[in-house]
């Protein structure tokens, strides 16, 4: 564990005016409160907060952030309270510690709906004071560095959460070094074989080619010296996960992957950045399409740098980043550069962004999201995005994620422009709406009165803002279809009770549910915002309450002798409400098949083994598995919406298997636990109404009968 004097020395290196007494008091207070607590590795628990504080000193952060790191677990894990921390260390530090505690309690890897709500809370915490997130990221980094002490299942959960949430968040904040380390640590847990394979190939490559980094670095320095450009050059091999991801994205083997080395050039001035770029392009061949100028068009988190890729020795591609020292400081610490100290004073870095403005801009994109899943999808889309810069016909700059299309551009200008879009011109030429916009292009949107968004636009758009606006418009367009589906669901639900879904009955339901007429009831029922049971209960509460007692699963089938047990056939998966027949097996009881099951042909010559059975009438528990064969669009967030839709129908997914993956669609088998055939009908009707579902059918496999029957 780092001693207090050593920690103070780390802070003093960049802030000689640090309040040593404050840090020492926090250190002693935290150590006393955590006395007797141990990590799973056996180390004293307080070694963790100290390590988190040490990580934050690498970013040269202020005393309040360092003290927060030392105390970040006290309110959650010890007898300390907010008021006590506030009395001892002031309200600023108490608020920061309380903010970290609330973030820790967010279950970010929980269900989709809950996860979306927690993301909202995370953004709210960020908007109050971004240092809360800086402490949380450092906390996660140290936990990932020491993750081996955890149980395997806990390791996997934390690693997935790190890969999905914390790593992209660090990248979005401009802390690329932290993102890369978090990704690689998570990769080591989630795919140790893949990472080990990359490392082995790296070692083999180094043996074959020698020290490529040293040679190329030397070549660059020599060229800069000849041109009189003052610059420092650093080279490194990319992280294993970065290489793995590139292999997956480009579907290339390691031997065909080229740009696995990266080089950084640090110059004295912005002018020297462009001079250095000229020197590199004169000496080595530039790779087309791999040039980005983030100096003239900075990222929203303050990042500035020139990126280029060139063919180096032996045709090997290498990526080069060129920036000044001040740009480099922001590139290393991202938004955290706002709090950085140098020589005891807050660094006046002209490229450091105002955290309040940065988070406000990020949060603004999600404010219009009403749907939990759409909000979550938008957050993840924006956090993972890399930006391109394009221009309006008037020359205004528009920032969009990499891969954005004219649809995204139109909605970035205004929702009204997006909804009315009928075409686009890029650099004066008419292009399809699915065209990917490149850096520096000028985009003009062509609009027409009466135009409405198309469902196919959801596959074309990449930004969360565009997708949300398109869905809102489609909801209005699809209202008629939802009403029609709602009518079918209502008819089925009321007939199940021996009633009819007349206009008068639906008007009563609307009045009791406090909705604006029967049309609204049917629309919400069709879009799965209401369940059929909720609508029936609003009209006939007594009839629905009488059926609350579920049927015992052991007596769900009528026609068996007292000593006989039964199993549902895996081949046809019969559900309560369907016609069934039983086949007897010596020592195995009875296997129940649907009356139309193809596997029954095997027993046609054995009539003595057949039993005439039927399901017990009443409410069955949702434990009967049926397999659905779905074809869905291959787009971000589609699978999440499908799973949420099934959950909204009160059905549970017990297994999911991809059977076909194509660039534009996925085909998958989903095992769903259901009450009865009516429940299956409701789930399938809801899925058919989803625009991203191309086809849905019940899946039955006669070959499964042999596996069950032995």
**CA 418 – CA 406 distance, rounded (Å):** 9
- Token output for 212: 């490529």
**CA 573 – CA 247 distance, rounded (Å):** 41
Size of the chain in residues: 710
Choose the catalytic residue: 76, 92, 382, 701.
76
**CA 557 – CA 676 distance, rounded (Å):** 13
Q: Is 77 a catalytic residue?
A: yes
**CA 70 – CA 65 distance, rounded (Å):** 9
Give the number of C-alpha atoms closer than 13 A to the C-alpha of residue 532, restricted to the C-beta side.
Answer: 25
Q: Are 309 and 317 in contact (CB under 8 A)?
A: yes
Q: Are 559 and 529 in contact (CB under 8 A)?
A: no
Q: Are 295 and 135 in contact (CB under 8 A)?
A: no
- Token output for 305: 């740098």
Q: Enumerate residues 6+ apart whose C-beta is below 8 A from 649.
A: 528, 531, 679, 682, 683, 686
**CA 537 – CA 531 distance, rounded (Å):** 10
- Token output for 22: 């404050």
In this structure, the strands spanning 261-267 and 317-324 are parallel
Q: Are 610 and 641 in contact (CB under 8 A)?
A: no
**CA 451 – CA 322 distance, rounded (Å):** 46
Q: Is 678 a catalytic residue?
A: no
Q: Which long-range contacts (CB under 8 A, 24 or more apart) does 415-424 make?
A: 415/469, 417/445, 417/447, 418/453, 418/466, 418/469, 418/470, 419/451, 419/452, 419/453, 419/469, 419/473, 420/447, 420/448, 420/449, 420/451, 421/445, 421/446, 421/447, 421/451, 422/446, 422/447, 422/448, 422/451
**CA 284 – CA 279 distance, rounded (Å):** 9
Choose the catalytic residue: 77, 92, 507, 550.
77
- Token output for 620: 């069955």
Sign of the CA dihedral with 29 first, then 33, 35, and 38 last: negative
The residue assigned the tokens 């800086």 is: 134
Give the number of C-alpha atoms closer than 13 A to the C-alpha of residue 702, restricted to the C-beta side.
Answer: 7
Q: Which residues are catalytic?
A: 76-77
């Amino acid at each position: 564990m780092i001693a207090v004097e050593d920690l103070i020395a780390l802070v003093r290196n960049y802030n000689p005016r640090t309040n040593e007494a404050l840090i020492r008091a926090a250190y002693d207070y935290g150590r006393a409160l955590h006395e007797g607590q141990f990590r799973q590795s056996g180390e004293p628990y307080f070694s963790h907060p100290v390590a988190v504080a040490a990580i934050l000193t690498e970013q040269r952060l202020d005393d309040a952030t360092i003290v927060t790191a030392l105390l970040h677990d006290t309110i959650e894990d010890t007898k300390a309270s907010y008021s006590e921390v506030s009395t001892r260390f002031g309200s600023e530090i108490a608020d920061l510690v309380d903010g970290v505690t609330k973030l820790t309690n967010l279950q970010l890897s929980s269900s989709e709906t809950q996860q979306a709500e927690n993301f909202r809370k995370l953004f709210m915490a960020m908007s109050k004071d971004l240092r809360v997130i800086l402490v949380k990221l450092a906390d996660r980094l140290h936990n990932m560095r020491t993750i081996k002490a955890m149980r395997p299942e806990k390791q996997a959960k934390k690693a997935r959460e790190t890969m999905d949430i914390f790593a992209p968040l660090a990248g979005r904040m401009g802390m690329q070094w932290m993102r890369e380390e978090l990704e690689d640590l998570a990769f080591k847990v989630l795919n140790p074989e893949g990472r080990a394979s990359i490392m082995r190939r790296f070692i083999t490559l180094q043996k074959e080619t020698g020290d490529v980094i040293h040679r190329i670095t030397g070549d660059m320095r020599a060229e800069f010296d000849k041109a009189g450009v003052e610059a420092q050059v650093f080279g490194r091999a990319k992280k294993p996960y970065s290489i793995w991801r590139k292999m997956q994205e480009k579907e290339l083997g390691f031997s065909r992957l080229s740009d696995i080395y990266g080089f950084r050039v640090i110059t004295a001035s912005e002018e020297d950045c462009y001079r250095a770029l000229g020197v590199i392009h004169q000496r080595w061949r530039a790779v087309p399409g791999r040039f980005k100028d983030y100096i003239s068009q900075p990222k929203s988190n303050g990042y500035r740098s020139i990126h280029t890729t060139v063919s180096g020795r032996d045709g090997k591609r290498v990526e080069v980043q060129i920036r000044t020292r001040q740009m480099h400081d922001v590139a290393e610490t991202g938004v955290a550069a706002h709090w950085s100290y140098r020589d005891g004073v807050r660094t006046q870095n002209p490229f450091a962004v105002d955290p309040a403005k940065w988070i406000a801009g990020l949060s603004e994109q999600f404010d219009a999201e009403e749907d939990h899943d759409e909000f979550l999808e938008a957050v993840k889309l924006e956090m993972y995005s890399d930006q391109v810069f394009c221009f309006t016909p008037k020359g205004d700059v528009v920032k969009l994620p990499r891969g954005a299309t004219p649809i995204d551009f139109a909605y970035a200008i205004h929702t009204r422009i997006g909804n009315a879009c009928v075409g686009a011109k890029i650099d004066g030429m008419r292009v399809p709406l699915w065209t990917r916009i490149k850096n520096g292009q000028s985009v003009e949107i062509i609009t027409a009165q009466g135009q409405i968004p198309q469902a196919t636009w959801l596959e074309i758009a990449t930004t969360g803002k565009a997708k949300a606006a398109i869905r809102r418009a489609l909801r209005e367009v699809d209202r008629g279809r939802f009403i029609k589906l709602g009518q079918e669901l209502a008819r089925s639900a009321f007939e199940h009770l021996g009633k009819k879904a007349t206009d008068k009955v639906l008007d009563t339901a609307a009045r009791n549910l406090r909705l604006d007429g029967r049309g609204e009831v049917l629309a919400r029922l069709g879009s799965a915002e209401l369940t059929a049971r909720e609508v029936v209960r609003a009209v006939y509460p007594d009839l629905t309450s009488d059926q609350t007692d579920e049927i015992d699963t052991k007596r769900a089938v009528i026609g068996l002798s007292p000593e006989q047990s039964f199993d549902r056939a895996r081949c046809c998966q019969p559900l309560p409400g369907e016609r069934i027949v039983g086949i007897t097996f010596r020592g195995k009881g009875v296997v129940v098949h649907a009356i139309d099951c193809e596997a029954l042909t095997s027993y046609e010559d054995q009539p003595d083994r057949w039993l005439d059975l039927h399901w017990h009438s009443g409410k069955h528990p949702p434990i009967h598995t049926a397999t659905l064969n779905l074809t869905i669009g291959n787009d971000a967030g589609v699978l999440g919406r499908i799973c949420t839709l099934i959950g909204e129908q009160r059905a549970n997914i017990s297994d999911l298997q991809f059977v076909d993956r194509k660039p534009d669609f996925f085909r998958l088998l989903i095992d769903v636990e259901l009450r009865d055939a009516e429940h299956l009908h409701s789930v399938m009707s809801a899925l058919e109404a989803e625009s991203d579902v191309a086809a849905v059918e019940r899946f039955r496999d006669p070959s499964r009968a042999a596996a069950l029957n032995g």
